[in-house]
Structure 1
Amino acid sequence: MRKQSLLGEGTTNRCGTVEGVDLSLRLLQSLEAVAAEGSMTRAARVLNLTQQAVSGQIRQLERVVGTPLVERRPTGIELTPAGEVVLKQGAALLSSAQAMVTEARLTAAGRPDPLRITFKAQSTAHFMPAVEAALRREAPELEVRPIASHTLPDEIDALVEGRADAAFLWLPIGDDPRFTIHPLLEEDRWVALPPGHPLESRTTLCIADLADVPVVGPRDGMPDAVVNFWFIDPRPDGRRAIFGPQARTPEECLHLVAAGHGCWIAPASTVTYFAHPKLTWLPLVDAPPNILALIWPKHTANPLLHLLLDQTRRTLHPTPLPTATT
């Protein structure tokens, strides 16, 4: 987390500091996340902090400004009029500070190496082009080199072997301490059903509805915790999931479902990316959500990764995705 101070109105002393205002960028980042998420808990997840830390930073920002910036309502946390002002002006300050740091680092380093990002197309198509455009505005000399992957092991191998600098991937990734993990967003889970399936006339599904339905998907090379999450195994009632045929790619999963071998449980963004003429997609309303994250190896020195993270967070949240209804 960046630790720079922003200077506001006040009296400048001989050292160039400003008396009366000591505003850290991290406070503005917390307000931005709370405004986007409408929740301290969800903002903490996005920022990879504790809920207590985010709440404390909001209180600290309110002390700096001298007035309440958020208010809690039954529908969630909303900004006060003063909070809206701080959010608007703070976004400009954050962008300016990031541009300053990026330009200085690129100037010192010369033309940067390509930023290599591994991703799954169906998970990132709704935001990655906009992120790349934002990166080009901030760092015109930067080349973004996308690397398409199909499975979690593909993405992890690309990072470990040095073929990629960062990865957009779904959590969990298992007990792997080698990476810095930045959760970005949550998506509902949806289920692809084969043609003529008895459940296809429903508008929503619950986990219990899939008790006797095999689930297709990749398993080889996956940590047990990852397989358990994606296949929802065991089920809330203690029953074990029925494992259908394995499939490595989304296209293989869709084929197996269309051929009647079972269902496929996937994130909401998959529904908008794959329009299969033979399948029915239904939301799974009581399953834990999928969480998309940006990760990179710990102790990396690439200064562009935080720029990538910042621009991704700014791009993601206005994007609508299919929402499960109960």
Structure 2
Amino acid sequence: MDIDLRKLRYFVAVAEELHFGRAAERLYITQPVLSRQIRALEQDLGTTLFARNRRSTELTPTGQVLLEEARPLLASATALTRRLTRAAHGAPAFTIAFMPGTTVTAAVRALTARHPGLTVNLMRTTWDDQTDVLHDGRADAGLVRMPVEQRGLRLVPLYTEPRVAVVSTEHRLAGKTTIKVADLAGEPMLQHPDAVPEWRDLPGRLTGHPATPRPVFHSVEEKLEHVAACHGVIVLPLSVAAYYTRPDVTHVPVDDIPPNQVCLAWSRTRRSPLVQEFADIAADHFTTGPRAPHPV
């Protein structure tokens, strides 16, 4: 049985919105057309994907499984299309993604020295999209900051660095030599909790603060503006905190959390020798002492 990728995209939109009207708007089609496509997909698969009534739309257990499997499948299809488009233009190109505070210059120079005709593009990523660009083909490889969802990826550990708490210069913790992560228990964290699992798992975190929706910021610069305004704190790798120096914020070492791990990552679907070659170059450049383990 062949699965229609267009129907699969329609399914993912409905599964993420859990509302046929909003999904139809997102897809720029009418709701009746979307409903017909979903019914057709259910007929193709011989199963029900959504439990619907007048008040709600919910995924069935089968629908939940399909959603989990559909996202990487669609990302792989998008990545293939991007690679074919680049190949059709003739000139070889290789795109490397990197997170704030990481530097790929020396590794890129080593790669281009081996391949003088190769065009290397660089792409800055964020916590929100550092793995998305690998799955959907926008980047061939990327320096990522752990933790990330490792499914569908190959990872080569490169190096670690300390993490620090970034606070306003007016904050009670400013000027401390070191702090404990428990000192941040009552502080609003202006980043995704999964980025700081040590804080996320603290008992009684945010005690004394009203329950409010976590704001969503898409750059370090945005987060620092709110830190400076005493709206909360963030935890960053030391190199990132040092790079974004400004007079109204400061950083304090947190001595009881592990360092941040930086890895080179790429999609498991990529079989290009160039990707593996760059992985070897990056491992040689970034690691000291025993070589980092090969892909995990």
Distance 2:173 2:195 in 1: 24
Shift of 1:317: 4.1
Aligned to 2:93: 114
Is 2:276 aligned against 1:309? no
Is 2:142 aligned against 1:177? no
Shift of 1:262: 0.9
Please say which of residues 210-219 and 275-284 is displaced more in the overlay.
Answer: 210-219
Aligned to 1:157: 132
Is 2:143 aligned against 1:143? no
Contact 1:244–1:262 (Cα < 8 Å) also in 2: no
Cα shift readout 1:172-223 (whole Å, capped 9, x = no counterpart): 213x42111112111111111112111112111111211222111146xxxx
Distance 1:289 1:163 in 2: 28
Stretches of structure 1 lacking an aligned partner (at least 5 in a row)? 1-110, 220-225, 319-326
Distance 2:215 2:151 in 1: 31
Task: Summarize the alignment of residues 1-326 of structure 1 with structure 2, pairs less than 5 Å apart.
Answer: 113-120=92-99, 122-125=100-103, 128-152=104-128, 154-174=129-149, 176-218=150-192, 226-227=194-195, 229=197, 232-235=199-202, 238-240=203-205, 245-317=215-287
The ranges of structure 1 where at least 4 consecutive aligned residues each deviate by more than 6 angstroms after the TM superposition are none
Change (3 A) 1:241 1:142: farther
Other structure's SS at 1:266 match: strand
Stretches of structure 2 lacking an aligned partner (at least 5 in a row)? 1-89, 208-212, 289-296
Identity of counterpart residues, as a percentage?
29
Distance 1:160 1:317 in 2: 25
Contact 1:171–1:293 (Cα < 8 Å) also in 2: yes
Distance 1:217 1:289 in 2: 17
Change (3 A) 1:218 1:247: farther
Shift of 1:246: 3.0
Other structure's SS at 2:281 match: helix
Cα shift readout 1:137-179 (whole Å, capped 9, x = no counterpart): 2222222111122233x232222222211121111213x4211
Q: What TM-score does the superposition give when structure 2 sets the normalisation length?
A: 0.60
Distance 2:247 2:190 in 1: 19
Cα shift readout 1:280-309 (whole Å, capped 9, x = no counterpart): 111111112211111111131211112212
Distance 1:158 1:248 in 2: 15
Distance 1:156 1:136 in 2: 24
How many residue pairs get aligned? The number is 194
Cα shift readout 1:236-278 (whole Å, capped 9, x = no counterpart): xx33357863322100111110011011101111022111111
Other structure's SS at 1:247 match: coil
Shift of 1:228: 5.4
Contact 2:92–2:119 (Cα < 8 Å) also in 1: yes
Q: What TM-score does the superposition give when structure 1 sets the normalisation length?
A: 0.55
Paired AA for residue 94 in structure 2:
L
Once superposed, what is the RMSD of the aligned Cα atoms?
A: 2.2
Paired AA for residue 284 in structure 2:
R
Other structure's SS at 1:201 match: coil
Other structure's SS at 1:214 match: coil
Contact 2:182–2:199 (Cα < 8 Å) also in 1: no
Please say which of residues 159-168 and 111-120 is displaced more in the overlay.
Answer: 111-120
Paired AA for residue 200 in structure 2:
D
